[in-house]
Amino acid sequence: MLRGIDPVLNAELIHALMLMGHGDQLVLCDINHPAETIAKHTTYGRLIDVSGCGLERLAEAVLKLFPLDTFVDAPVKRMQVVGDADGQMPIFAVMQTVIDRAEKRPVQMEALERFAFYEEAKKSFAIVRTSDPGPYGCFIFCKGVV
């Protein structure tokens, strides 16, 4: 155990976060996301599991260490509701609150169609699966500079 590091962040996740550079992307997802399949296409090449933890809790912990990119319009992406591009799910507002609080500013979040989200996720550095039951708990965070 280390001081100042949230215990929800396991060693593998901390290692991946430290390997990431400016502009690299990190996916945080729920248990419904095809994370294992898509993780094989990422830079890290394998799935990082954070069992027993929901999206809100993990995002709070990650964003204490992980600055969002200020050089892009929308440093966070989420999946659109299938069949309703303007549809809202409760997790969207929850995560927006977590992100804005961590950054101490309003942060733009871009909505991507389901399959476009999967393709963008494949370009990410790593995918982290939580135990969150979802649905639509799929977010991509673009790393900024410290």
Catalytic residues: 22, 69, 118
* Pairing assessment for the beta strands 126-129 and 109-112 based on DSSP bridges: unpaired
E strand segments, 24-103: 25-29, 48-49, 76-79
Omega within 30 of 0 (cis) for the link into 106: no
Torsion over CA of 17, 68, 99 and 89, rounded to 10 degrees?
Answer: -90
3-class state of residue 48 by DSSP: strand
- Compute and round to an integer the Cα radius of gyration of the chain: 14
